[in-house]
Chains A and B, each alone.
Chain A
Amino acid sequence: DAKTTQPPSMDCAEGRAANLPCNHSTISGNEYVYWYRQIHSQGPQYIIHGLKNNETNEMASLIITEDRKSSTLILPHATLRDTAVYYCIVKGWNTNAGKSTFGDGTTLTVKP
């Protein structure tokens, strides 16, 4: 699985969009980009994943660059409850028994 790089921390004003970047320059053609978040001491929560097209669900949008070497998770209207550690993970389709490596992630702080 390809390695990812994320900034250690970011701030965002409440009500504004939060844009969290992730670099994955060694991503392979069959590898997906996954995003999770961990609020305080709770279990991580799956947010979204994508291969090459942009994806949107009720929680967030995922924008993947055309060369697939980086992506951005967008929380369109951040609230205080979105304060959490956000993890970007790259994983191949149907490989490695689904095991995922969670790095240090980005700590997003949403401020009033």
Chain B
Amino acid sequence: NAGVTQTPKFRVLKTGQSMTLLCAQDMNHEYMYWYRQDPGMGLRLIHYSVGEGTTAKGEVPDGYNVSRLKKQNFLLGLESAAPSQTSVYFCASTDGDRGTYEQYFGPGTRLTVT
């Protein structure tokens, strides 16, 4: 049981390049989330999904797109990277069926945009 995994762990992009971050969970969780964390700050929600085929915007969605084609995977895309998107990206999942929402997080992806 690997929990929540994220690929890649590190990435450096040039301004204007695109990339996709992959989040995978093996806990059969319905809900998945993408957060970003800038240095010395708390986590901010980018996008989330309440089930396969559904996505919704979070607190800071601009410049990102997401897809949830399979229940176990949640992809975060940057179409045209900007230096302001330099951050650590965390994925999380939770089983919403019980009504309480303890979230389980991945190890993070450290992205630098130059």
Contacts and interface: CB of A to CB of B under 8 A. Distances in A.
B103 A98 contact: yes
A97 B56 contact: yes
B90 interface: yes
A99 B48 contact: yes
Contacts of B78: none
Contacts of B106: 43
B58 interface: yes
Contacts of B56: 97
A100 B94 CA distance: 11
A102 B105 contact: no
Interface of B: 4, 31, 33, 35, 41-43, 45, 48, 50, 56, 58, 88, 90, 92, 94, 96, 99-108, 110
Nearest to A34: B102
Interface of A: 32, 34, 36, 41-46, 49, 87, 91, 93-94, 97-105
Taking chain A's interface residues, is the majority helix, strand, or loop, or is none over half, making it mixed?
Answer: loop
Given A102-B43, A104-B42, A49 B90 contact: no
A99 B59 CA distance: 10
A93 B97 CA distance: 11
Contact of B102 (A46, A93, A97, A99): A46
A103 B43 CA distance: 7
Contact of B90 (A34, A44, A97, A98): A44
5 contacts: A41-B108, A43-B108, A93-B100, A99-B48, A103-B42
B105 A45 contact: yes
A36 B33 CA distance: 16
